[in-house]
């Protein structure tokens, strides 16, 4: 019973940068985004892509109007009700009905931009933005989607090899005959990763699409909210995905993903466009099962959380989300993937 209660308790988010919007969705109008149960207004002080981003709680301290329904003027965001204007530092710089504004203030939130995403900082201070190139010199595309789930369940889903042939049929892994493999798990202070040797390379569509030869696959979770999957061939990084998982409203996680292939030729661009279509399909299938899991838990009022031997990353992901360091499982299972 205690376990069940613990899993229903909201986990305090760890410090870090959380993706909250696509850069391309923030242009000449204020934008309302949800982050960890609260609404924020984002805007660009120059009203165009590339200018500096302001981020404040999306509620005017006067009567509570959502600033996101207002407009951008002289670098600030103007409330849609009585027209008070707020600067990026949270100060009210203009009240239309007063010759000089009375003191009014909204605590500003750290905002930054990179890799095609807008990030909000949670006690992020000097932490670097998590935007290192996925495949250096490669070609990348971005994608986003929201699912009714938890951060831990979403991260596990993306990194889990044991659901793929069940949920995704032959897209990622073949359905005809699984391969025996013993993964290796490695941990650091704030990350955990599983390595699958080339013998276990998927023989599904993905394996064929990527070309001949085995891949060394790495599945990694990095605190506070990042999943990374890497395919290496003869030690060379050839394909990778990274998802920033952001709690938005209660019980909802929005994923902001990047997918990259080595190379920059027209063939690489064509391949990645096809992969993008494939991934939209895969994400839709994951969304369906994760939504069903959430609805079922709500109906039963309980959250089964049995960590089986083949769930090699789950205990580590849970530890990282609690703010602890992960441990390598005591014994590695003989898996069939
Ligand atoms: S509610 Fe915003 S200015 Fe009055
Ligand atoms: Fe999946």
Reported as a single tens digit per residue, the pLDDT across 10-19 is: 457 888 999 9
109 shares a domain with 254: no
Which ligand 1 atom sits closest to the C-alpha of 64? 1
DSSP characters for 63-131?
A: T---GGGSEEETTEEE-TTT--EE-TTSBEEE-TTSSSPPP-B--B--EEEETTEEEEEES-TTPPPS-
68 shares a domain with 179: no
165 shares a domain with 58: no
CA-proximal residue: ligand 1, atom 4 (nearest):
82
pLDDT of residue 125: 76
pLDDT of residue 96: 98
pLDDT of residue 173: 53
Please check whether residue 167 is in contact with residue 292, taking contact to mean a CB–CB distance below 8 angstroms.
Answer: no
CB 172 less than 6 A from any atom of ligand 1: no
- The answer, yes or no, to whether ipTM is higher than 0.95 is yes
265 shares a domain with 168: yes
CA of 49 to the centre of ligand 1 (A): 27
Q: Find the range with the poorest average confidence among 78-82, 309-313, 333-337.
A: 333-337
CB 62 less than 6 A from any atom of ligand 1: yes
Q: Which whole-number Å values give the CA distances from 307 to 97, 311, 316, in the listed order?
A: 61, 6, 11
CB 129 less than 6 A from any atom of ligand 1: no
Last residue of a domain, one of 91, 122, 153: 122
- pLDDT above 70: residue 206: no
C-alpha span between 61 and 117 (Å, rounded)? 28
C-alpha span between 215 and 193 (Å, rounded)? 16
Structurally, the chain folds into a number of domains equal to 2
Structure tokens at 197: 């040797």
186 shares a domain with 43: no
* Mean pLDDT of all residues in 324-329: 92
Last residue of a domain, one of 78, 97, 122: 122
Structural domain includes residue 174 = yes
* Mean pLDDT of all residues in 279-292: 94
C-alpha span between 317 and 303 (Å, rounded)? 17
229 shares a domain with 94: no
Q: Is 301 helix (H, G, I), strand (E, B) or coil?
A: coil
pLDDT of residue 10: 46
Last residue of a domain, one of 95, 122, 149: 122
CB 81 less than 6 A from any atom of ligand 1: yes
Structural domain includes residue 211 = yes
CB 69 less than 6 A from any atom of ligand 1: no
pLDDT of residue 55: 98
Question: pLDDT-based confidence at 124, cuts 50/70/90?
Answer: confident
* CB-based burial label for 8 (10 Å; 0-12, 13-18, 19+): exposed
Q: Which whole-number Å values give the CA distances from 233 to 79, 197, 237, 273, in the listed order?
A: 54, 10, 7, 21
Structural domain includes residue 234 = yes
CA-proximal residue: ligand 1, atom 1 (nearest):
63
237 shares a domain with 109: no
* Structural domain range at position 151: 139-336
| Mean of per-residue pLDDT scores for the chain | 90
203 shares a domain with 54: no
CA of 162 to the centre of ligand 2 (A): 9
pLDDT of residue 169: 80
CA-proximal residue: ligand 1, atom 3 (nearest):
82
215 shares a domain with 149: yes
CB 60 less than 6 A from any atom of ligand 1: yes
Which ligand 1 atom sits closest to the C-alpha of 83? 3
CA of 270 to the centre of ligand 1 (A): 50
Q: What ligand is nearest to the CA atom of residue 159?
A: 2
- pLDDT above 60: residue 6: no
């Amino acid at each position: 019973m205690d376990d069940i209660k613990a899993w229903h308790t909201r986990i305090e988010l760890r410090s870090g940068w959380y993706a909250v919007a696509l850069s391309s969705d923030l242009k000449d109008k204020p934008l309302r985004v949800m982050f960890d149960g609260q609404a924020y207004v984002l805007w660009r002080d120059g009203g165009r892509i590339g200018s500096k981003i302001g981020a404040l709680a999306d509620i005017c301290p006067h009567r509570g109007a959502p600033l996101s329904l207002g407009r951008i003027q002289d670098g600030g965001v103007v409330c849609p009700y009585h027209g008070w204007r707020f600067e990026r530092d949270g100060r009210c710089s203009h009240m239309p009905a007063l010759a000089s504004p009375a003191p009014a203030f909204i605590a500003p939130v750290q905002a930054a931009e990179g890799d095609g995403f807008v990030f909000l900082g949670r006690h992020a201070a000097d932490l670097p933005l998590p935007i290192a190139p996925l495949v250096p010199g490669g070609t990348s595309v971005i994608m986003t989607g929201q699912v009714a789930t938890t951060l831990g369940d979403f991260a596990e889903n993306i990194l889990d090899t044991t659901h793929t042939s069940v949920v995704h049929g032959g897209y990622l892994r073949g359905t005809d005959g699984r391969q025996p493999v013993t993964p290796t798990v490695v941990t650091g202070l704030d990350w955990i990763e599983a390595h699958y040797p080339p013998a276990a390379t998927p023989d599904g569509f993905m394996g064929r699409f990527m070309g001949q030869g085995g891949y060394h696959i790495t599945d990694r979770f990095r605190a506070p909210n990042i999943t990374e999957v890497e395919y290496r061939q003869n030690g060379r990084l050839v394909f990778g995905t990274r998802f920033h998982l952001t709690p938005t409203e209660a019980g909802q996680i929005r994923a902001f993903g990047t997918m990259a292939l080595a190379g920059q030729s027209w063939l690489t661009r064509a391949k990645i466009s096809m992969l993008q279509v494939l991934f939209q399909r895969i994400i839709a299938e994951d969304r369906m099962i994760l939504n069903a899991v959430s609805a079922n838990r709500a109906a039963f009022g309980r959250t089964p959380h049995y960590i089986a031997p083949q769930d090699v990353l789950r205990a580590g992901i849970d530890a990282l989300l609690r703010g602890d360091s992960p441990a390598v499982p005591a014994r590695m299972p003989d898996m069939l993937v």
